[in-house]
Every structure is written in C-alpha cells, then in structure tokens.
C-alpha cells in the first residue's frame, strides 16, 4: 500500500508495542520516502528532504490520482536524457538504414549539442522555441529546419507513447514548425539540355537521357539494367535504385517501395542501344535493401571506367559539376541532377499529359504532391484554348504574329 516512510526513525517493539525511535547516527538529508506500486506491480519510491513532508504527501496524492486515471508517468522515465532515448528509438526504428543514418546525423549535428543532455521531462515549450531560434540564427534553410522540427517531434511523440513524458512539448500552439514555402522548380530548356548532354563525359551521357526522357531519380538511373527493358511494350520497369548506406552501396527498391512502369521513348531506347555498344553493361553484385542483405547480381548500363557501380558522391563531384560549368549553366543546388526529372515533368505537362499519369511515371506517393510541385508548369487555360483553335484551323501560320489595333 502506498505510504510515506520517515527514514529518521525505525520501528521497534517495546513492551509488545510498535514504537518509532530515532535511527542511530541519523542526520540531515533525504528524510521522507514515498513508497508505492507502479502500474506494472513493481515498488517505486521517491525521497524528499527534512521539512518537506507536505511535498512528499502532495507527491503521494498526485501519484495515487494519476494511477487511478491511467495517466501515471514514472518519474525515473522523465529523467532519461533526450540523447539516450533518441539513440534507443533510432536503434529500434523500422525505417530503412539510410533514413536511420540521416536521422542520426541530423540529431548529432543540430539537436544533441543543445538538447541531448536534457532530461525528457525538462524539455518544455520554451526549450523548443529557444532551440528553433538558435537554428534560425545559424542560417539553416527553412526547409531543413522544418525537417529537424518534425523529426524531433516524432521522437518526442514516441516518448509520450512509451510513457516517458506526459505530452509532446513541441505539439502546442506556441511552438510552430518553420514555415516553408517551396521554391518553384525551374526545368532546363531544350538548349540547356542539349548543351549539357554534349558537355558531360560520354560514358555517362545516357544518364541525361534516362533522367530527362524517363523521369528517373539519380539512384534509379544508376541502377537501370537491360533486364528492365520490355521492348514489346516499350516500357522501362523501375524496380531498383543504388543507395549509399554508411559509406557503402546497396541495391534497394525505388523510393517508397513504389515499383513502376515508365513509357520508354524511341529516342531513349535508341540511345541505350548505342550506349551498350560502346560501353558494355557490367555485372554488379550488391546486397539487397540492407548492408547484410542477400547479394543480388544485375547487369547495369552505367558503370565507372573500372567496372564499378556509380555512386552519387563521386558522380556529383567528378562528373556532374564539371559538365555543368562546361555547359555554362549555374552551379547551384537547383541545377543538381534532379533538374532532369523536373525537365521531364515540364515536357509532359506542356504536351497535355495528366497529373495522374505524370504522378505514376514519377513514382510519387499521390497526385496531389505532383500537382503542388509542378502546378506552375502546367499550360494555362488560355494556352490550351489557343492551341486547340490553332489545331482546328490547321495550325498557326508561319507569318509573324499580327499586330491588332490601329497602326501608328
């Protein structure tokens, strides 16, 4: 039964009666100990110093009320540091290894230095606001800070579920995730794409075709195999990507596990055939999905000059960036390899392809995401009207556009 124990006294039997007598050598210190049974049936205790019996009694009352309401949180759990809990959470998380690696790196760089040593129960809304302010002052991009906020909130939500803390201090009205307004993607023009393709090392030229002609992601481009081509249906099966996990390459399913079929244009198909004649596909063996996964051997179109699979780090530094500069294109983040995918989307939308179809080809989770990213690239209703009428009138004339109104 829950009770308060006075540790300065001990119970002895005098004349057949239980009597409290001072303990030998007792002095100042933690005098009162509250003892009670936790929800799992194990005895718990909390100690309080001399002259704090009322505090001990208040604690006992609170514990008993929380136990009855089912809202009890073990005080020892709240003393666990954020770093200790997050490390346990990441180790047990069911996410893929690359996501785990990303979370561990982000927390090591931007969360643990400030909050890692704090007890979970000590992290309050004010703590979250101060942390957010420091991140903003450090100059981190709003999109990155938003990801950090959401990831930390995810860990704190898990702590609530595990009954380490009563509530998530970031899930209150006064603590808000950084507002993120995504920058509009800017696809390459036909002239830029042609100039870049001419500038890139011939061995990797077909990567441009697979990106801008089939909308593949970088890791998917590096993992395309002749086995993935269905020549009868003119389809490219996107079934794998190359990922780098803890510095090592693996084969893995496409992002989100979304295997898909992409129409294979004749122009891309022809260039794949030409590429294979000049650079024969190389058999590559990598573990599947995890570092210790089952080895899988696949012939790949793209490989290094030494016959190794292509990794993003070396490719971006030694192949992509030099070609960007040689083509006279700005060496910025928006002109990374993902721009080929944006260019693919812009060409399809300009041709009148539906958002739903484009979403399937790109492997997006839902068409709504595709619409949010590419809505500004869609032809306006006025554009569609002009084109429809021009087609009905056998196309626009080759003459200069007429000047309407009075001549000067």
Residue 178 within any structural domain of the chain: no
Which CATH number goes with the domain that contains 370?
1.10.443.10
pLDDT tens track for 211-264: 999 999 999 999 999 999 999 999 999 999 999 998 899 999 999 888 999 999
Give the pLDDT score at 384: 63
* Domain end marker among 161, 181, 202: 161
Are 317 and 221 within one domain?
Answer: yes
Give the pLDDT score at 13: 65
Are 37 and 107 within one domain?
Answer: no
Give the pLDDT score at 116: 95
Angle, CA 115 vertex, CA 113 and CA 116 arms, to 5°? 70
Average pLDDT of the chain is 86
Q: Which helix (H) or strand (E) holds 321?
A: helix 321-326
Instruction: For residue 236, give the nearest of 301, 187, 173, 190 by alpha carbon.
Output: 301
Give the pLDDT score at 295: 96
Supply 408's token pair.
């000067």
Give the pLDDT score at 11: 62
pLDDT tens track for 74-95: 776 667 899 999 999 999 988 8
Rounded distance between C-alpha atoms, residue 374 and residue 185, angstroms: 7
More confident residue, 351 or 86: 86
Residue 168 within any structural domain of the chain: no
Helix (H, G, I), strand (E, B), or coil: what is residue 365? coil
- Per-residue pLDDT for 407 more than 60? no
Give the pLDDT score at 231: 93
Q: Which helix (H) or strand (E) holds 5?
A: strand 3-6
| Residue 212: HSE in the Cβ half-sphere, 13 Å Cα cutoff | 23
The b/e string for 43-65 (b: 16+ C-beta within 10 A; e otherwise) is: ebebebeeeeeeebeebbeebee
309 touches 284 (CB < 8 A): yes
pLDDT tens track for 356-381: 999 999 999 889 888 888 888 876 65
Helix (H, G, I), strand (E, B), or coil: what is residue 132? helix
Are 91 and 63 within one domain?
Answer: no
Residue 101 within any structural domain of the chain: yes
Total-model pTM = 0.73
Are 355 and 235 within one domain?
Answer: yes
Residue 389 within any structural domain of the chain: no
Residue 257 within any structural domain of the chain: yes
Q: Output Rg (C-alpha) for the chain, integer angstroms.
A: 32
Query: What is the chain's length?
Result: 408
* Domain end marker among 47, 70, 93: 70
Are 100 and 65 within one domain?
Answer: no
Are 116 and 195 within one domain?
Answer: no
Instruction: For residue 359, give the nearest of 258, 271, 290 by alpha carbon.
Output: 258
Are 239 and 265 within one domain?
Answer: yes
pLDDT tens track for 115-145: 999 999 899 999 999 999 999 999 898 889 9
* Domain end marker among 44, 70, 96: 70
Are 120 and 257 within one domain?
Answer: no
Residue 390 within any structural domain of the chain: no
Query: Rounded to whole angstroms, what are the CA distances from 286 to 123, 136, 225, 236, 314?
Result: 43, 40, 14, 21, 18
The 3-class secondary structure across 27-43, one letter per residue, is CCCEEEEEEEECCCCCE
Supply 233's token pair.
């249906």
Chain CA centroid to CA 19, Å:
64
| Residue 42: HSE in the Cβ half-sphere, 13 Å Cα cutoff | 4
Are 115 and 214 within one domain?
Answer: no
Residue 214 within any structural domain of the chain: yes
- Per-residue pLDDT for 155 more than 50? yes
Give the pLDDT score at 45: 75
Are 296 and 197 within one domain?
Answer: yes
For the chain, the domain total comes to 3
Residue 401 within any structural domain of the chain: no
Are 17 and 88 within one domain?
Answer: no
Instruction: For residue 226, give the nearest of 281, 267, 264, 278 by alpha carbon.
Output: 281
| Containing structural domain, residue 39 | 3-70
221 touches 238 (CB < 8 A): no
Are 150 and 290 within one domain?
Answer: no
């Amino acid at each position: 039964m829950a009770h308060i124990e006075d540790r300065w006294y001990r119970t002895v039997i005098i004349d057949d009666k239980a009597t409290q007598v001072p303990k030998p050598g007792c002095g100042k210190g933690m005098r009162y100990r509250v003892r009670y049974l936790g929800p799992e049936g194990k005895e718990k205790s909390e100690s309080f110093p001399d002259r704090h019996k009322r505090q001990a009694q208040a604690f006992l009352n609170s514990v008993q009320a929380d136990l009855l309401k089912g809202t009890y949180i073990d005080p020892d759990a709240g003393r666990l540091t954020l770093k200790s809990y997050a490390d346990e959470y990441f180790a047990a998380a069911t996410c893929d290894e690359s996501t785990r690696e990303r979370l561990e790196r982000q927390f090591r760089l931007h969360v643990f230095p400030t909050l890692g040593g704090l007890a979970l129960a000590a992290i309050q809304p004010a703590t979250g606001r101060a942390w957010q302010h420091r991140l903003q002052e450090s100059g981190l991009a709003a999109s990155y800070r938003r990801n950090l906020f959401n990831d930390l909130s995810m860990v704190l939500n898990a702590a609530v579920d595990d009954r380490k803390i009563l509530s998530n201090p970031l899930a209150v009205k006064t603590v808000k995730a950084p507002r993120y307004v995504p920058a509009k993607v800017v696809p390459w023009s036909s002239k830029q794409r042609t100039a870049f393709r001419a500038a890139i090392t011939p061995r990797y030229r077909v990567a441009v075709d697979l990106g801008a002609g089939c909308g593949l992601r970088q890791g998917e481009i590096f993992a395309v195999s002749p086995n993935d081509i269905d020549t009868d249906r003119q389809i490219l099966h996107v079934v794998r990507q190359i990922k780098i996990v803890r510095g090592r390459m693996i084969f893995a399913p496409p992002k989100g596990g979304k295997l898909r079929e992409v129409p294979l244009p004749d122009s891309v198909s022809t260039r794949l055939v030409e590429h294979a004649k000049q650079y024969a596909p190389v058999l590559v063996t990598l573990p599947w999905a995890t570092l210790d996964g089952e080895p899988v051997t696949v012939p790949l179109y793209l490989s290094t000059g030494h016959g190794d699979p292509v990794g993003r780090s070396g490719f971006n530094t030694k192949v992509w960036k030099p070609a960007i500069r040689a083509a006279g294109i700005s060496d910025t983040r928006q002109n990374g390899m993902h721009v080929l995918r944006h260019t693919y989307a812009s060409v399809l939308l300009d041709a009148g392809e539906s958002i739903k179809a484009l979403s399937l080809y790109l492997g997006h989770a839902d068409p709504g995401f595709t619409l949010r990213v590419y809505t500004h690239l869609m032809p306006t209703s006025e554009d569609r009207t002009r084109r429809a009428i021009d087609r009905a009138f056998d196309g626009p004339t080759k003459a200069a556009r007429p000047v309407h109104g009075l001549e000067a």
